Chain A
Amino acid sequence: MKKTYLFTLGLAVGAILPFIGCNKNKDIVIGGVAPLTGEAATFGTSTKQGYDLAVAEWNAKGGVLGKQIKLAFADDKGDPAEGATVYTKLIEQDKAIAILGTVMSKVSLAGAPICQAAKIPMIATASTNPKVTDVGPFIFRACYIDPFQGTVGAKFAFDELKARKAACLFDVGNDYPKGLSEFFKAKFTALGGEVVGFEGHATGTSDFKAQLTKVLAAKPDLLYISDYYSDVAIMAKQARELGFKGPMLGGDGWDSPKLIEIAGSAVEGCFFTNHYAKEDKAPVVQEFVMKYTDKYKAAPDALAALAYDAANIMLDAITRAGATDGAAIQAALGKTDLRVVTGQVKFDEKRNPVKSAVIIEIKGGHEVYKTTIAP
């Protein structure tokens, strides 16, 4: 019995040790959060690569405020409880002066109150839920919120593709696809179109034939698939197998080299709304695509671009603030007017970025710029 107590005591002392004393860092510490474990890990990987690339670039140029930047990265596992823990760790333990991340809205929502309370500015990368930035004035985001993309998609479908009957397919266990489909439906109906099918599917399934067979029976002109690329890819394949010949449309979740890799010809002639086009001649875009592809041996997806942008927006704000205290950075962030990969970014009064969307067409196995739609 004594042994157990000693063991417990030792464990307790050992557990406390790492938390005592404070971090004396000569570098400027920026926190980065993304899910690297669990089912969202694939999104976290590109997000982390986006942060890493941006920070490495800034450091090569001499860092920020004359100091090198250290990215303290933490894995949120796609879980709110983990998120709350790592946001606190980055602030309290690593002494991060600003935080980038994270991907999933539910995790950003657990982290945002912590950043807000500590007055540490935070830029969520891909959290589309409008509530995230409602938490307080220190919370910003790099992506569009759901209503914008859904609306843009619906306009494009109705005006350009002349679709009158559309069907929506989405993951019911994930807020991003569901929100997107809901806003698409609202706008498309308002424009005078008809949504003839609105079908969810469970997270993690690979068999969408039941839903597809059902919606295709209503003979839609267009399928609006608001999922992430890997679900989109097999859904597109199955839709073609079931004889659907019309166009499919989606959101920035489609933006990944894996989409065409997995779906092949099934997504030929399909469209998606995105933040930027890879063939955009702007040097910031070209440089990003080249460097990213060079470093990670794969083309960047939307999540990598958003993470890269979040880092750049934050570091730009720190430079302009000329200080490392949260309030100064927050004020500078509010005045952001910066050309980044995903467009010219300014923040509105709710700290959402105001930027235009582009429509990308998949043609000949490549993503091709189609048109730009202003906000």
Chain B
Amino acid sequence: MGTLKKMKLVLAALTFYAVVQVLNLAGILNGYFMVIINRSLIAVIFAVSLNLINGITGQFSLGHMGFAAVGAYVSGTLTTLFFHLNLNHPFDNLGFLAAILLGGLMASLAGFLIGFPSLRLKGDYLAIVTLGFGEIIRTILNNISYVGGPRGLLGIPKFSNFTVIFLFALATIVLIRNLVQSSIGRSMLSIRENELASELVGVDTTRYKVLGFVVGAFFAGIGGGLLAHLLQIAHPTQYGFYASALILIMVYVGGIGSLTGSIIAAFSLTFLTEGLRVGIDWLRDTVGVPIGTEWTMVIYAVLLILIMLFKTEGLMGMREAKILIIKEKEG
């Protein structure tokens, strides 16, 4: 049963991949669409990994993009400054993969460090500490001239493409899904529901809380590395509070604790941003309403507030799409 279900997810994902790829090659979907797809997939990586920390383990991170920064800078430094990897060299693609994974590992080290305060702090305090962590990372990056300081890390080779990003996004979903639906995941959930009680029944809360941060940060680092190799630049300001808040919006709109929700929200909000861009331009240029794309963020802020007020559990609540469930719940 399990294998079949697992296969179903992968099959569905591959179908998605094939459809997009064919439509793109046929010229029906243009490059703009592909950029949005790529950004959506990277957003999926960020949102699903943040959901592991905030939703599943019940911790609270406001500095998720800080982990992404670590991944982006570590992998970018390796490919660009250390080894001067070349796109046209097939062997260098392996080097790129290694750099991305190493970036993820370094990010998870940062997650390990930031996971420690979570042993003592709860909820809102932890939120502020993670926010501070993100800001510290940014300040440090701004002041290391080796990686460009405020100029950013430049000239990163463009190793990321739709295929690479798709595979990493799929791997992120599958691995986090498997983790969440294992006994480890159930322990994590128990911490969220009631930390004291789960400690009393013998769950090693310390271990699972830190593990949530480590794994979440690992994938955020991967996402950061992919983004840097897509944009060919990593810049300290990309990883500030507002970038983290945007991921947070995705997680909460989708449903805290629901991976399906995060995936849907990552896609729909990324597409909504572009839809709003096109829509607002149309309103301004054709209808003549004097508004600009700066209203997009106003709309998102309102959306977040409305979701919290009227559908606190998000679009999906705690539910998962069947395709993402390994075993049917018992009892």
Task: A18 to B322: give the CA distance in the assembly, Å.
Answer: 30
* A residues less than 8 Å from B154 (CB atoms): 109, 129, 131
* A residues less than 8 Å from B231 (CB atoms): 80-81, 83-84, 110
A371 at the interface (CB under 8 A from B): no
Contact status A85-B274, CB under 8 Å = yes
11 sampled A-B residue pairs with Cβ under 8 A = A37-B293, A74-B293, A80-B152, A85-B36, A88-B31, A93-B30, A106-B151, A109-B152, A172-B149, A173-B142, A178-B149
A-facing mask of B231-264, CB < 8 A → 1, else 0?
Answer: 1110111100011000000000000000000001
Contact status A8-B264, CB under 8 Å = yes
* B residues less than 8 Å from A179 (CB atoms): 151
Task: Enumerate the 3 nearest inter-chain pairs by beta-carbon distance, A residue then B residue, closest first.
Answer: A15-B271, A75-B293, A92-B31
Task: A174 to B231: give the CA distance in the assembly, Å.
Answer: 19
B64 at the interface (CB under 8 A from A): no
B132 at the interface (CB under 8 A from A): no
Contact status B294-A106, CB under 8 Å = no
Contact status A81-B39, CB under 8 Å = yes
Contact status A92-B30, CB under 8 Å = yes
A41 at the interface (CB under 8 A from B): yes
Contact status A173-B29, CB under 8 Å = no
A-facing mask of B296-321, CB < 8 A → 1, else 0?
Answer: 11000000000000000001100101
Residue B31 contacts which of A14, A37, A91, A106 (CB distance < 8 angstroms)?
A91
What is the distance, in angstroms, from B152's C-beta to the closest C-beta of chain A? Answer: 5
B143 at the interface (CB under 8 A from A): yes
- How many residue pairs link A and B with beta carbons under 8 A? The number is 123
What is the distance, in angstroms, from A147's C-beta to the closest C-beta of chain B? Answer: 14
Closest to A18 in B: B278
* A residues less than 8 Å from B321 (CB atoms): 1, 4-5
Residue B151 contacts which of A18, A88, A129 (CB distance < 8 angstroms)?
A129
Contact status B232-A113, CB under 8 Å = yes
Which A232-249 residues sit within 8 Å CB-CB of chain B? none
Closest to B280 in A: A75
* A residues less than 8 Å from B125 (CB atoms): none
Residues of A at the B interface (CB closer than 8 Å) are 1, 4-5, 8, 11-12, 14-16, 18-20, 22, 36-38, 41, 72-75, 78-81, 83-86, 88-89, 91-93, 105-106, 109-110, 113, 129, 131, 171-175, 178-179, 202
* A residues less than 8 Å from B292 (CB atoms): 36, 75
Residue A79 contacts which of B155, B237, B275 (CB distance < 8 angstroms)?
B237
Known contacts: A79-B237, A106-B235, A173-B142. The answer to whether A74 contacts B277 by CB under 8 A is yes
A-facing mask of B260-298, CB < 8 A → 1, else 0?
Answer: 000010011001001101100100000000001110110
Residue A89 contacts which of B32, B297, B316 (CB distance < 8 angstroms)?
B32
B217 at the interface (CB under 8 A from A): no
B230 at the interface (CB under 8 A from A): yes
Residue B294 contacts which of A8, A41, A109 (CB distance < 8 angstroms)?
A41
* A residues less than 8 Å from B315 (CB atoms): 4
B158 at the interface (CB under 8 A from A): yes
Query: Helix, strand, loop or mixed for chain A's interface?
Result: helix
B201 at the interface (CB under 8 A from A): no
Contact status B158-A113, CB under 8 Å = yes
What is the distance, in angstroms, from B220's C-beta to the closest C-beta of chain A? Answer: 15
Residue B232 contacts which of A41, A91, A109 (CB distance < 8 angstroms)?
A109
Residues of B at the A interface (CB closer than 8 Å) are 28-33, 35-36, 39, 139, 142-143, 149-152, 154-155, 158, 227, 230-233, 235-238, 242-243, 264, 267-268, 271, 274-275, 277-278, 281, 292-294, 296-297, 315-316, 319, 321-322
Contact status B232-A172, CB under 8 Å = no
Contact status B294-A75, CB under 8 Å = yes
Closest to A36 in B: B294
Closest to A70 in B: B285
Closest to A15 in B: B271
Known contacts: A11-B268, A15-B271, A37-B294. The answer to whether A85 contacts B35 by CB under 8 A is yes
What is the distance, in angstroms, from B97's C-beta to the closest C-beta of chain A? Answer: 21
Contact status B31-A110, CB under 8 Å = no
Residue B29 contacts which of A16, A72, A105 (CB distance < 8 angstroms)?
A16
Most buried by A among B231, B237, B274, B277: B231
What is the distance, in angstroms, from A50's C-beta to the closest C-beta of chain B? Answer: 16
Known contacts: A15-B271, A18-B278, A109-B152. The answer to whether A81 contacts B238 by CB under 8 A is yes
* A residues less than 8 Å from B32 (CB atoms): 19, 85, 88-89, 91-93
Contact status B29-A19, CB under 8 Å = yes
What is the distance, in angstroms, from B294's C-beta to the closest C-beta of chain A? Answer: 4
Known contacts: A37-B293, A81-B227, A105-B151. The answer to whether A19 contacts B238 by CB under 8 A is no
Task: A343 to B264: give the CA distance in the assembly, Å.
Answer: 52
Contact status A1-B271, CB under 8 Å = no
Task: A357 to B236: give the CA distance in the assembly, Å.
Answer: 31
* B residues less than 8 Å from A174 (CB atoms): 150
Contact status B230-A84, CB under 8 Å = yes
Task: A173 to B39: give the CA distance in the assembly, Å.
Answer: 25
Task: A75 to B293: give the CA distance in the assembly, Å.
Answer: 7
Contact status A80-B268, CB under 8 Å = no
What is the distance, in angstroms, from B135's C-beta to the closest C-beta of chain A? Answer: 10
Closest to B268 in A: A11
Contact status B28-A20, CB under 8 Å = yes
Closest to A17 in B: B275
Task: A84 to B322: give the CA distance in the assembly, Å.
Answer: 35
* B residues less than 8 Å from A20 (CB atoms): 28-29
Known contacts: A79-B237, A91-B31. The answer to whether A85 contacts B39 by CB under 8 A is yes
Task: A178 to B151: give the CA distance in the assembly, Å.
Answer: 9
* A residues less than 8 Å from B31 (CB atoms): 88, 91-92
* A residues less than 8 Å from B319 (CB atoms): 1
* A residues less than 8 Å from B237 (CB atoms): 78-79, 106, 173
Task: A36 to B201: give the CA distance in the assembly, Å.
Answer: 54
What is the distance, in angstroms, from A233's C-beta to the closest C-beta of chain B? Answer: 21
What is the distance, in angstroms, from A80's C-beta to the closest C-beta of chain B? Answer: 5
* B residues less than 8 Å from A202 (CB atoms): 139
Task: A37 to B291: give the CA distance in the assembly, Å.
Answer: 12
Known contacts: A1-B322, A81-B238. The answer to whether A110 contacts B39 by CB under 8 A is no
Contact status B238-A172, CB under 8 Å = no
* B residues less than 8 Å from A11 (CB atoms): 264, 267-268, 271
Residue A37 contacts which of B30, B35, B236, B296 (CB distance < 8 angstroms)?
B296
Task: A179 to B231: give the CA distance in the assembly, Å.
Answer: 23
What is the distance, in angstroms, from B29's C-beta to the closest C-beta of chain A? Answer: 6
* B residues less than 8 Å from A173 (CB atoms): 142, 150, 236-237
